[in-house]
Structure formats: structure tokens, C-alpha cells
């Protein structure tokens, strides 16, 4: 990942021992896993492979973080409903256990977790210097915590593994672990990572740091409503030298990657043929915009992650972030088409389909708002909490707010998070974290009613189905993929799904 060569083949090429000496010739195109992991260079190559899988998981994370919420929808194509059973269902709340996107999400996380666990095991037995070993272990445990934090928020109880299995048969004995156990492992991994990770790396921007581990740990405590621990953890991040950049747009400019506000972002490198590029501009551009938004006509835009009318209206007047984050339409051949699109990842690039934009996972603004929320939940809207909120508002060109009750401050922080972190995959998790399942269903049904009454994008005369935008309490969690339960019947399904 980033400017590092991705060696996923390290894992893909691992060779299992053959049975009964049927084949004794070594395949020269593959690396035996018993030969690899012998020195620092090989361990670091394996670590790079772990980083590489983060890109694939991030490429579709907007489906859940944004399109499953009230933030975005998609540019409806009445002539091609190929995504109806997949990503369309995510927006409409019609996801079922057979949904391919859910299956891909589940499989991608567990594939990445296997490689994390395997590398940790080989790292433990390696002879490399402990000063080198510690930060590698810290990075790997951060990833294990990050992936399980995703999984437990997506699915609730999940299979918890911190080791690799000795046989395929052992996989059929696995059960889902209770959420409390999963969270305990997440916290343990992050606390261990904090003690092993440096605050920065010389010449290696983009790697996981102590600040990233503390920020994620603070978010875990906030999710669990352990507000005192969240405050203690997040305050440590404030001492590590991060700051808000004066211009909000600098957080997304490929020429200013990994700036002072960046705590952790997924690294991409475009404008070349190395295969590490991003393509969010093409995913999010209106599907009929041609080259107007992307600059190239050879790649057809997807029209995904389209800002909803409600999202557009969420910005206060004169909020500087609005024009950076989204556009309300595009002009083609002198005609304006009112199809909104996400613009914060829109930057010039030289090769069609291969953009250079990173994806922010944790920014300093996120930490400030999390800390403000934790303080308010524990002690009410203190001057410190209000000051943290107003730091973010000030950068956006908005007037400070000062007159709050505990309830109004809670809403103010959630509203601020929505616009500050728009299209960065926080919204769905924020709603799930701050609402009960019943409240979540009521909220999403209200959003759906607004979309049905006044769709963000034209539907070409095709109406909504009776099931579109009908949410129930159980949909606060995703279903366990049907194929996983078919493979291992010991995996029970989440309530409400069949």
C-alpha cells in the first residue's frame, strides 16, 4: 500500500504441505511458507501485504457507511437494474442473507484477518530484533482490532479468532462469540498496540501510529458508552502534535496527503500502472456526466454515493465545507443537470480510472468531536466540550455556538459530525451508536418517507416497491451471509432474517 510494493502474493502463494509425498517437486513460482518469514525484509513484505488488503475493503465501505444511511443514495438507472439484489438493497433496506455485497464484506474482512493472524504467529517466532518487531506487532494488532471493530458493528456476535487453524475441519466447529468478548479482544489489541507503536515513522507516512491506535480505542470506548475511558484515551491524542488544517480541502488534495490533520488514511497511488490507484471519482460521478466530472470519457461513471436532498440541506448557510464536499449538479453541453455528486475526492489525474486520492479513516476533527461528545455524556456541555465543537465550526467559517443543554449539545455534535465527516463512512455507525435499534428504525423510516415523496434523483417513471425504505429494528445489524451458515450450520442467523 502507499508507495510500498504490495505483495499479496506472499499469502496467495503459500504452499501447504502435500499429502503422502504425491508431489515432491517444488513449484518455483511459489514461496513455501516454511521458508518465508525468516528475516526483517520478509516480515515487512508480509506486513505490506496486510496493508494492501485494506484498500480492497475500503473501496466498497461507502456502501455501508454512507449509502445505508440518510447521507447518500444512487443515481437511479431505469434501464439497468443489475444492482437491485446487491447495492440497491443497501440503500432501500431490503438486504437479506443472500446479498452478495454482504457476503463480500464478510469474506474480505476474514481474509484480511487470516493474514494478520498468520503474520503475527510467524513474527512471534522470528529472530528479528525486538526494536523492529514491536512496531510491526503494533501495526498488525491495530488491523486486527480495526477489522473486528468493523465486524462487530456490522454483524453483532461474530467468529473471533486470534490464531490460524491447524486444519480445515476445525473451521466447522467455530461458533459466533458474544459481542462483549469481541470488544474485549479489540480493546486488548489496541492497548497493546499503543505501547508498541511510534508517534511517526521517518519517511513512511501512511503507516499506523500510536495516534491512530489511541483514536480508534477512544472510538471503541465511545461506542461502548464508557465515556470516562473515552475521554482519557482521546485526550492523549491531543498531545501528539495533530492540528486542524486551515483549509478543509487540504485533507483531500492528493498533493497534500498525510497532513497534520491526518491520523490514519488509506493510501492510494494513481497516475501509474502499479495497481494501487483509487477510483472514487468514477464511482461517485453522475452516471450520465460523461467526462464532465472525471475528465475522461473512456470510463463510464457509476453514479453511486449520491448526496441526498436531506444531506445537502444539512449544511448551514456559508459553510465552507459544502462546496468542497459535494456539488448539486453538473453542466454538460450548456445544460445543467441537477444530479448531486460527492466532489471531495475529485482531483485531476493523468490516466483514466486511476486516481491518486487517499481515503481518510480518522482525522483530528473526528477526535475533537468524539472528545466533545464523551465529555458531554459524562459531565454535560462544559466549556471544554463546547470549545472543541467550536474549533471545528470555526474552520468551516461558522459562528460559534454556546447555549446548550446536554440534549441539545448531543444533537449539535451529531449534526456537526454529519457535515464535517460527510462521505468518509462515519454516518451509519454514528446513527447506530447514538440510537437504540427501535429509534434507528424510526429514523430511517422517516428518511425513506422523505425520499419516496421527493426522490433525490429522477427514477425514469419507475416507482418504489412496497418494501423499499421499510426498516425494522433488527436491521441495525446485517445478516450473516447465507453461504456461511450453509457451510457451517453452527453459525446462527441474526434475529429477523431468514
Domain borders along the chain are 280-342
- For residue 261, give the DSSP letter: T
Tell me if 74 sits within 8 A of 306, measured CB to CB.
Answer: yes
Q: What is the pTM of this model?
A: 0.93
Query: What's the confidence (pLDDT) of residue 275?
Result: 94
Helix axis angle, 100-124 to 40-59, nearest 10°: 170
Contact between 295 and 348 (Cβ < 8 Å): yes
Residue 55 has pLDDT above 60, yes or no: yes
> How many C-beta neighbours within 10 Å does residue 80 have?
9
Concatenated DSSP letters of 188-253: HHHHHHHHH--S--TT-TTS--HHHHHHHHHHHHHHTT-HHHHHHHHHHHTTTT----SSGGGGT-
pLDDT confidence bin for 5, thresholds 50/70/90: very low
Distances (CA, A) of 84 to 78, 81, 193, 283, 445: 11, 5, 41, 17, 20
The whole-chain average pLDDT of the chain stands at 92
pLDDT for position 7: 34
Per DSSP, the three-state class of 119 is helix
pLDDT digits (tens, 9 = 90+) for 186-234: 999 999 999 999 999 998 999 999 999 999 999 999 999 999 999 999 9
Give the closest residue to 61 by CA, choosing from 356, 429, 437.
Answer: 429
Averaged over 447-472, what is the pLDDT?
95
Residues 355 and 267: beta-carbon distance below 8 Å: no
Backbone angles phi, psi at 330, to 5 degrees: -140, 155
Which is it for the CA torsion 344, 347, 352, 353, positive or negative? negative
pLDDT 10s digits, 307-346: 999 999 999 999 999 999 999 999 999 999 999 999 999 9
**Alpha carbon distance 378, 220 (integer Å):** 16
pLDDT, residue 6, reads: 33
Task: For residue 271, give the C-alpha cell.
Answer: 497516475
DSSP state of 108: H
Amino acid at each position: 500500500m502507499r508507495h510500498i510494493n504490495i505483495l499479496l502474493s506472499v499469502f496467495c502463494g503459500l504452499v501447504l504441505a502435500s499429502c503422502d509425498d504425491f508431489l515432491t517437486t517444488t513449484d518455483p513460482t511459489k514461496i513455501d511458507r516454511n521458508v518465508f518469514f525468516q528475516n526483517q525484509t520478509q516480515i515487512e513484505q508480509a506486513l505490506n501485504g496486510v496493508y494492501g488488503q485494506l484498500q480492497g475493503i475500503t473501496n466498497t465501505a461507502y456502501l455501508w457507511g454512507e449509502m445505508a444511511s440518510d447521507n447518500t443514495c444512487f443515481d437511479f438507472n431505469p434501464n439497468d437494474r443489475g444492482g437491485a439484489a446487491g447495492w440497491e438493497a443497501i440503500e432501500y433496506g431490503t438486504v437479506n442473507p443472500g446479498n452478495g455485497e454482504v457476503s463480500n464484506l464478510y469474506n474480505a474482512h476474514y481474509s484480511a484477518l487470516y493474514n494478520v493472524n498468520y503474520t503475527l504467529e510467524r513474527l512471534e517466532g522470528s529472530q528479528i530484533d525486538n526494536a523492529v518487531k514491536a512496531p510491526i506487532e503494533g501495526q498488525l494488532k491495530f488491523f486486527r482490532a480495526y477489522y473486528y471493530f468493523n465486524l462487530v458493528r456490522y454483524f453483532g456476535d461474530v467468529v473471533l479468532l486470534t490464531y490460524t487453524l491447524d486444519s480445515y475441519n476445525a473451521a466447522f466447529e467455530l461458533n459466533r462469540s458474544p459481542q462483549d468478548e469481541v470488544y474485549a479482544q479489540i480493546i486488548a489489541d489496541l492497548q497493546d498496540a499503543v505501547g508498541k507503536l511510534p508517534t511517526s515513522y521517518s519517511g513512511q507516512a501512511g503507516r499506523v501510529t500510536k495516534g491512530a491506535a489511541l483514536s480508534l480505542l477512544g472510538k471503541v470506548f465511545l461506542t461502548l458508552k464508557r465515556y470516562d475511558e473515552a475521554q482519557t484515551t482521546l485526550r492523549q491524542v491531543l498531545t501528539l502534535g495533530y492540528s486542524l488544517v486551515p483549509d478543509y480541502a487540504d485533507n483531500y488534495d492528493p498533493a497534500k496527503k498525510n497532513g497534520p490533520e491526518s491520523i490514519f488514511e488509506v493510501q492510494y497511488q494513481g497516475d501509474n500502472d502499479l495497481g494501487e490507484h483509487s477510483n472514487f471519482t468514477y464511482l461517485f460521478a453522475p452516471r450520465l456526466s460523461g467526462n464532465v466530472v472525471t475528465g475522461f470519457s473512456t470510463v463510464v461513471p457509476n453514479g453511486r454515493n449520491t448526496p441526498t436532498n436531506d444531506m445537502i440541506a444539512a449544511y448551514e448557510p456559508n459553510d465552507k465545507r459544502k462546496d468542497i464536499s459535494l456539488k448539486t449538479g453538473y453542466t454538460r453541453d450548456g445544460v445543467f443537470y441537477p444530479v448531486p455528486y460527492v466532489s471531495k475526492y475529485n482531483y485531476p489525474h493523468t490516466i483514466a480510472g486511476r486516481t491518486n486520492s487517499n481515503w481518510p479513516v480518522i482525522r483530528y476533527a473526528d477526535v475533537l468531536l468524539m472528545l466533545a461528545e464523551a465529555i458531554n455524556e459524562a459531565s454535560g456541555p462544559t466549556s471544554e466540550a463546547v470549545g472543541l465543537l467550536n474549533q471545528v465550526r470555526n474552520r468551516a467559517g461558522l459562528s460559534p455556538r454556546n447555549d446548550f443543554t446536554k440534549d441539545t449539545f448531543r444533537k449539535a455534535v451529531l449534526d456537526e459530525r454529519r457535515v464535517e465527516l460527510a462521505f468518509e463512512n462515519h454516518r451509519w455507525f454514528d446513527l447506530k451508536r447514538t440510537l437504540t435499534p427501535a429509534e434507528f428504525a424510526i429514523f430511517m423510516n422517516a428518511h425513506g418517507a422523505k425520499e419516496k415523496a421527493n426522490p433525490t434523483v429522477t427514477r425514469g417513471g419507475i416507482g418504489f416497491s412496497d418494501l423499499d425504505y421499510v426498516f425494522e429494528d433488527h436491521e441495525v445489524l446485517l445478516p450473516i451471509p447465507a453461504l456461511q451458515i450453509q457451510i457451517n450450520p453452527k453459525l446462527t442467523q441474526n434475529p429477523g432474517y431468514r
